[in-house]
Amino acid sequence: MILEELVTATRQNMYKRQQTYSCDVLKKQVAALDIKKDFLFEKDLATANLSIIAEVKKASPSKGVIVKKFPYLQIAHDYTEAGVAAISVLTEQNYFQGNLKYLRDIAAATTVPVLRKDFIIDPYMIYEAKINGASIILLIVAILTDQQLKDFFHLANDLGMSAIVEVHSELEVQRALAAGVRIIGINNRNLKDFSVSITTTIQLRKIIPTNILLISESGIRSSNDVAKLKKAGLNGILVGEYLMHSADKKKTITQLSEAKI
């Protein structure tokens, strides 16, 4: 039910934005860009020991407001200084209190690839991501048809953006692989009831080919968690709430990076 509500709110907010900027307008803006298909984020994932994607997040449906003070540019600066592989920015408004402005400002202020973290349900949102500086988008298998998954993945690729394709079950893994994706993100959080377990990643990793870049998302709260994921052969981790609560984000990122198996 939570996921359905998120999708409904996303669609309503998208319709409102389309009244100001139509998809045709966004396409014209994208056409004027110098699109590079270097996919630097993917190269980093493939070569690094364990890449960290650090998230800028003010709130969530399960926790409510995570931090009252939200100096998002300073947070992004700290992440950049810590050497993260990418910065994830929530843009969903109703439940995560995100905003496209956060994405746009952070993308303009850092050289690190930036991920638009949202419930993308329409090509319009992919063009929005590109215009606002995203290098990466999130595609959630649970809210897309097989055709949408393929089309959205190829559109992102055409626009020079990587796509992290999010799964939570064996069936969703098979659907992602059938779409020909390059990066799979295993969400340890069940989007239906918001329960969390990194065991989800460890179990699903067994059925994912080694040529697929693999990221673990949600519920990573300690160096011990990171060590378990390293042992499972992950390429990267996405860490949000744990970092948002940290008083010294650079130190916390260093500690996670140095986790030993």
**Domains of the chain listed by start with CATH number:** 2-257 (3.20.20.70)
Q: How sure is the predictor about 60, in pLDDT bands with cuts at 50, 70 and 90?
A: confident
Round the average pLDDT of the chain to a whole number and report it.
94
Is 128 part of the annotated catalytic residue set?
no
Is the pLDDT at 214 greater than 60? The verdict is yes
Is the pLDDT at 20 greater than 80? The verdict is yes
pLDDT at 1: 53
Among residues 187, 188, 235, 257, the one annotated as catalytic is 187
Instruction: Work out the percent of the chain whose per-residue pLDDT is above 90.
Output: 87
| CA 68 remoteness from chain centre | 22
Among residues 128, 166, 172, 241, the one annotated as catalytic is 166
Q: How far apart are CA 45 and CA 93, in angstroms?
A: 29
Per-residue pLDDT tens digits for 149-186 = 999 999 999 999 999 999 999 999 999 999 999 999 99
Instruction: Give the mean pLDDT of 34-52.
Output: 92
Instruction: Give the mean pLDDT of 46-67.
Output: 90
Is 55 part of the annotated catalytic residue set?
yes
Is 81 part of the annotated catalytic residue set?
no
Among residues 92, 128, 172, 217, the one annotated as catalytic is 217
Helix ranges (H only) for 68-220 are: 72-81, 100-109, 123-131, 146-158, 170-178, 199-204
Is 218 part of the annotated catalytic residue set?
yes
